[in-house]
A and B are shown apart, each in its own frame.
Chain A
Amino acid sequence: DIVMTQTPLSSPVTLGQPASISCRSSQSLVHSDGNTYLSWLQQRPGQPPRLLIYKISNRFSGVPDRFSGSGAGTDFTLKISRVEAEDVGVYYCMQATQLPLSFGGGTKVEIK
C-alpha cells in the first residue's frame, strides 16, 4: 500500500501571508497511463472534505487561484499564495494511482 506523509502537522499563518504544505508518497505516483493521480482536499470544521486540486496541479471548479499544486514522482506541494480567513481547516493529499486509495494525515492551517 502507498503511504502518504504530510508536513507540517500544523501551520500557523498570518492573514495575507503564504502557506505551503508538503506531501510525500512511499512510492512513485506515476500511473502506467502516464498520469499522476495526486489530489489535495480541504476540510473545514464540521464539513466533508472538498476537492481543491487534482492531478498535481489542476484547480477544481470554483477553487480560487491563490491555491496551487506542484510536484512530481513522490514529492508534492500545495501552496496558498495569500491566506484568507476562510482557508482555515485541515488539508489532505490523496493518491488514486493505486488501490487502496490513501490519504495523508492532514495539515491544519490556522491563523496566528
Chain B
Amino acid sequence: QQPVQSPQAVILREGEDAVINCSSSKALYSVHWYRQKHGEAPVFLMILLKGGEQKGHDKISASFNEKKQQSSLYLTASQLSYSGTYFCGTSNTGNQFYFGTGTSLTVIP
C-alpha cells in the first residue's frame, strides 16, 4: 500500500524548478505532502482531499489526479531552504496512513 515516489533524488541549482511524483496502486482518499530536514521530524506542507484539487503556497504547489491515483508536488524557483527529503502520504480509508519512500532534494548555490 506504500505509494511510490519519483525521482528518488534530485539536485537543483537555486532558482530551478522541480517536480516530485507520488503514485498509488489503490484508490486514494487524500494525499499529504511533508518535508523532513536531516535529523528532524517531518513538517506538513499541504493536504489534497479531492481529485483534481490543486493547492499551493509561496512557490510550492501540488495537484491530485484521483483517477490516475497520482499526486505531484511542484517547487518553482527553488531556494536553499527547500533542501530536504519530501514525502507523500496517502490514505484510502481515512485512518490508515502510508508514506512513500521519499525524494531527497538538494538545492545548491
**Does A pair with B?**
no
- The chain B residues found within 8 Å of chain A, CB to CB, are none
